[in-house]
Structure 1
Amino acid sequence: MPIERIVILGTGLIGASAGLALRAHGFSGQITGWDPNPAELADAERLGAIDSASPSTIDGAVLAARSSQVVLLSGPVFTILEWLDRLAPVLQSGQLVTDVGSVKNALCQHARDSYNLVHTAGFLAGHPMAGKEVSGAANAEAALFDGAAWLFTETPESRSMHKASRAIADEWRAWPAKFGCRVLDLEPERHDVLCAWVSHLPQYLSTALSALLEDEFPDKDEILAIGGRALREMTRLGASPYSMWRDVAHTNTEAVAASLLALEQRLTHLRENLRTPELRDEFDRANRFREQMRAGKK
């Protein structure tokens, strides 16, 4: 049965962008939105990301989820974990819960005993590798996912979910490709390790650099006057919201800590070799990596 009713719980940047992308690429069903912040919900409705807004109460969200085939959970990881607990007792087979969270193993483990069973809703963990350093539905756009990877982390449990939910899951999996995404499958644990390196580490590096500059230069006039593209690019992620990245730090601690330690060691190596040929070797390695990245985008 085609998907006709979707509810987006969390109509911030990613949730509202998902609604806009669905509309832009031909979804003709009903999209309901819910958000604890009425202003976010109003922005999503004004932009056309959702057709109708559910009351900004927990009961309102649960009622909307019960009447939908797909429930898209969009928000920080802790919030998604809470929704998994709330929705499990009230949903049933033939419904699908999916998400856009930045950490996958914690979510898949949490859903193991409450989803993908004979009489329960299915759970398919997902993660679009897209976003901005600014949040909120007002910044949403249908093209946000174009060219990005949309990762799914199937588990033995999700692969064997009830056939009614599986049909919905397979149809949902087809939508990111319509958005212009590269759809990839990873094991949850591998997802978290890779994302620690390619997403989480850059965020915490930018946060640390921005915080360091804040402390070192309380009067910004001097560095802002001479800072150019390098400063803007390296500190851009420093504007990201704490709530999202706090949850990543708490739920992907080991992988994030390992990547940060490796970076610390590399920076130490760089500092100790500022006047040796090792510095040239580091630039050579960095140049090779950038060339491979550029080639991969062609």
Structure 2
Amino acid sequence: MESIRHLGIVGLGLLGSSILRGVKLNHPHVHLHLFDGDPKVCREVEALGLVQQCADSLAELHECDLVVVCVPTGSVASVVMGLASGMKNGAVVTDVGSAKQTVINALGNRLPTHVSFVPGHPMAGGEQSGPSAGREDLFAGKTCLLVPLSSTPTSAIELVERFWRALGAITCRVDARQHDHIAALTSHLPHLIAFSLMETFGDQLPINSQSAPFIGRSFFEQIRLASSDVAIWTSIFENNTDAILSQTEHFIAVLNQWCAVLQERPIELHGKISDSSALANKLLGRAL
């Protein structure tokens, strides 16, 4: 991070506080400038000893070389615009949002030319939220997807790449449509399934001592995602609706195929389970 002397972080939840922790531990020469719109979050960050005092406004981040915006996806564009006009020449802004095209569309050509925006999405996180959930190694070995625009200067893209690599991440450049379509399958659909499964459980069983003996590890693994941050996931679903609907429709079609096999062709069950198991083992890097 030699080229980053002043780093700003907007939003100090799980991802923002993890960036903060990682930079403090491994890159102590970097001057940190922190802001969160929720005063309670700022007080928690200060009480944790992660910083002496948070900034009172976005204006206090205008001298930063790079600002990482870690707010719900639906708020990214407004924060970027709030930052950009007052930032110094050559400054760069990036984000960690899970949907990209809506942010790019919202910004359009409104950004001043002296500031670059490099949309980003680290494939890291967890169902816990808030500053206390942060980990300095959260991004180690994880992929950070970058979605630079055709007009984005190469120097800005490379600055953001160096930033994420300094936190142990692996960077990969993709376009916005590809990002949103694949993220809907690998991240957003699993959360939707978890929310739906939890709703199905709630429709049929109370959460009490009578249902407890029936709940094993497999169920907990499936519904863990349902405890994720409500505001963040509401915003993701609102900002990647088309791609999520497309992947959900495909998933429902596959479920219907399973229903047909269960009802009409049980002899095919072994083959379908075997095929799915082989794909899972390949993805997990296990030898068959």
Is this a same-fold pair by TM over 0.5?
Answer: yes
Mapped contact 1:31–1:52 kept (Cα < 8 A): no
Do structure 1's residue 249 and structure 2's residue 245 form an aligned pair? no
Q: CA deviation at 1:27?
A: 4.5
CA distance in 2, matches of 1:66, 1:249: 31
What are the within-5 Å matches in structure 2 for residues 115-154 of structure 1? 115=111, 117=113, 120-154=114-148
Q: Structure 2 unaligned segments of length 5 or more: list them.
A: none
Q: CA deviation at 1:296?
A: 7.9
Cα deviation code 1:201-222 (max 9, x no counterpart): 0011001101111121134323
RMSD: 2.1
What are the within-5 Å matches in structure 2 for residues 67-216 of structure 1? 67-115=63-111, 117=113, 120-159=114-153, 166=155, 169-216=157-204
Q: TM-score, normalised by structure 2?
A: 0.91
Report the residue type matching 2:178 in the other structure.
R
CA distance in 2, matches of 1:296, 1:73: 37
Tell which deviates more after alignment, 179-188 or 276-285: 276-285
CA distance in 2, matches of 1:36, 1:214: 34
- SS of 1:222's equivalent? coil
Q: CA deviation at 1:12?
A: 0.7
Do structure 1's residue 293 and structure 2's residue 287 form an aligned pair? no
Q: TM-score, normalised by structure 1?
A: 0.88
CA pair 239-219 structure 1, distance change in 2 beyond 3 A: closer
Do structure 1's residue 26 and structure 2's residue 27 form an aligned pair? yes
- Determine what percentage of the aligned residue pairs are the same residue: 23
CA distance in 1, matches of 2:52, 2:175: 34
CA pair 93-281 structure 1, distance change in 2 beyond 3 A: farther
Structure 1 stretches of at least 4 aligned residues deviating more than 3 Å after TM superposition: 45-52
Mapped contact 2:63–2:87 kept (Cα < 8 A): no
Q: CA deviation at 1:228?
A: 1.3
CA pair 227-72 structure 1, distance change in 2 beyond 3 A: same
CA distance in 2, matches of 1:14, 1:42: 17
CA distance in 1, matches of 2:19, 2:153: 24
Q: Which residue of structure 2 lines up, in the alignment, with residue 237 of structure 1? A: 225
- SS of 2:34's equivalent? strand
Q: CA deviation at 1:47?
A: 4.0
Q: CA deviation at 1:92?
A: 4.4
